Structure 1
Amino acid sequence: MTRKQSQQHDAQRKPSWRVRWKTMSRAVGMEIREHKSSFAVYVVLRMLVLAMAILQFFNGDYENVFLCILTLLLLLAPAFIQVQFRIELPSVLEVIVLVFVFSAEILGEISSFYEIFPFWDTVLHTMNGFLAAAIGFSLVDLLNRSDRVKFELSPLYLAIVSFCFSMTIGVIWEFFEFGMDQLFGFDMQKDAIVHSISSVMLDPTHTNHAIRINDITQVTVNGQDLGLGGYLDIGLIDTMEDLVVNFIGAVVFSVFGFLYVKNRGKKDSIISRFVPRRKSADRDYLRLVIDGGSRESHTNMRDTVIEQTFDCPDKLDA
């Protein structure tokens, strides 16, 4: 193999993981700084998470430190997705995602907002239903408008797919909470106090008739009063409430998504602020970084050849 062929072979090889990491890091950095509003929110939230991580480290709570590190990675997710899949998230949607991550992990888990504010979990699950519906809608809408994919759905089917995608995400999350509770003894499916229950297991005739107990004010376990003032429901009510509010968020976005597609091009819609679109060439930062790196490498190689030529004048005669 000649030297020229060897150089061509090396050029055709895939870049190393270090080069790919550096390229992706530069592209993600450019993406984060693209919109001033989302960039400002990202910087503020990142500083708050870092401060919380330092505080938890000195408190010796290393589990929360790990949660802070996970939050920092999740805050990078919107920019990474935009770069990797070459889609443009509206700044409003990006800000909502960033605030959602911070509210769920830092405020909800570490600062115990789930316990301080009973509605906190409900609000986040409603937002999750809305955001998941937006993601599902956008994925199908991008395929719908692609020239390379023979795929076309009516506005109604787009709304149905959006709704089903959101509900699927909600159910999978409840599976995750149940698994963590069962395998690791967590309490992600929060308990509730109820004052009446119905169960066929209380039927002495075993004929599948539900026996109801009302006005429960005291529950004793192994001879010890729990002091809860009622019966302890282990997560069922919390799970169903989460799915109900997820349902509401999914329905709301699906309806707006249907109207958006139905009237696309006729007038500007507020829902367009939540619908991702394909990146234009001037905002495809991954391609810009790769092309810039290629031009830089080509320039460096050319300069090296020129320097070697002038260092060895006899090559000019050749």
Structure 2
Amino acid sequence: MKFLKLRPNKKYKAISIVYFILRMLVIYVFFAQLHDRNYENVFLCVLTMILFLVPSFIERRIHIDIPDTLETIILLFIFSAEILGEINSYYLIFPYWDTILHTINGFLASAIGLSLIDILNKNKRFSISLSPLFVALVAFCFSMTIGVVWEFFEFAMDTYFGMDMQKDTYISSFQSVLLNQNGHNIPVKVNFDSVIINGEPWKGYIDIGLIDTMMDLFVNFIGAVVFSTFGYFYIKGRGKSNFLKRFILKIYTENE
């Protein structure tokens, strides 16, 4: 089998620094949460450490090279979502933290989808040769599918495990056909400054997760469109872009 089992030493040195720093930070948070008996966050730390192993596992076992830039972004993404977002409450401290991560997720998922199709395109064992436009379209669809599946996961966790992954939003008005007293299919707009819940005034009506979900899918869409567009020109020019090469997976060969 014409594959290398290990990456070049130069690459190990570059990525190992990122791995070391992030792992030390996670270990510090792990013991801090363990000391506070915050066992749910302890589990998130363990999960983060496991997720850190996935890129290395893919390279060693499946023999697919993950470029330094892409691997670094993936590691920082995991750390930002689990440690900073969940444990350090960045999702609440910074209103657009979740939006930024979902945009990056759309970009990364599109990169992975395009890479997988490109690998099949160049593999002589598969009798397929997709056009650059179709490869870009598949990459876009792959990214959006990942985004939708994740929203399904968030909804399931909120519904069956009592979590709040689909963050709520205060709104001051809404439209509803249900409130049309004449029974017509015409929406009635309801405006309000505050509502009373169990005798306590709230500053508005709470949208339970819908706005958050649609915003997540929208920014995922933006990330997917951006990379798929660049990916189209990358495939069409057959890898002339040095920038895109930093995000494209490839299979190791004996000559590399």
Does the CA contact (< 8 Å) of 1:32 and 1:39 recur in 2? no
- 1:221 offset after TM fit, Å? 2.4
Does the CA contact (< 8 Å) of 2:172 and 2:193 recur in 1? yes
Higher relative contact order (CA 8 A, sep 6+): 2
Name 1:203's counterpart in structure 2: 180
Quote the Cα distance in structure 2 between the aligned partners of 1:193 and 1:32: 52
Does the CA contact (< 8 Å) of 1:35 and 1:91 recur in 2? no
Quote the Cα distance in structure 2 between the aligned partners of 1:55 and 1:270: 39
- 1:51 offset after TM fit, Å? 0.7
Equivalent AA in structure 1 for residue 65 of structure 2? E
How big is the alpha-carbon RMSD for the aligned residues of Structure 1 and Structure 2?
1.7
Gaps of 5+ in 2: none
Compute the TM-score of the two structures, normalised by the length of structure 1. Answer: 0.76
Report which of the two structures shows the higher radius of gyration computed on alpha carbons: 1
Name 1:77's counterpart in structure 2: 54
Name 1:217's counterpart in structure 2: 193
Name 1:10's counterpart in structure 2: none
Higher helix share: 1
Quote the Cα distance in structure 2 between the aligned partners of 1:226 and 1:118: 23
Name 1:100's counterpart in structure 2: 77
Quote the Cα distance in structure 2 between the aligned partners of 1:131 and 1:268: 17
Equivalent AA in structure 2 for residue 217 of structure 1? D
Show the 5 A alignment for 1:160-171: 160-171=137-148
- 1:268 offset after TM fit, Å? 3.8
Name 2:244's counterpart in structure 1: 271
Name 2:229's counterpart in structure 1: 255
User: Aligned to 2:86, which of 100, 105, 109?
Assistant: 109
- 1:132 offset after TM fit, Å? 0.4
Quote the Cα distance in structure 1 between the aligned partners of 2:83 and 2:178: 41
User: Aligned to 1:55, which of 20, 29, 32?
Assistant: 32
Partner SS state of residue 202, structure 1:
coil
Name 2:206's counterpart in structure 1: 232
Compute the TM-score of the two structures, normalised by the length of structure 2. Answer: 0.94
Does the CA contact (< 8 Å) of 1:38 and 1:95 recur in 2? yes
Partner SS state of residue 181, structure 2:
coil
Deviation sequence 1:120-141 (CA, Å, 0-9, x none):
0000000000000011101111
Q: What is the aligned residue count?
A: 252
- 1:31 offset after TM fit, Å? 8.2
Show the 5 A alignment for 1:1-318: 34-214=11-191, 216-222=192-198, 224-227=199-202, 229-264=203-238, 267-281=240-254
Equivalent AA in structure 1 for residue 244 of structure 2? I
Quote the Cα distance in structure 2 between the aligned partners of 1:31 and 1:176: 37
Partner SS state of residue 281, structure 1:
coil
Structure 2 vs 1, CA of residues 226 and 83 (structure 1 numbering), >3 Å: closer, same or farther? farther
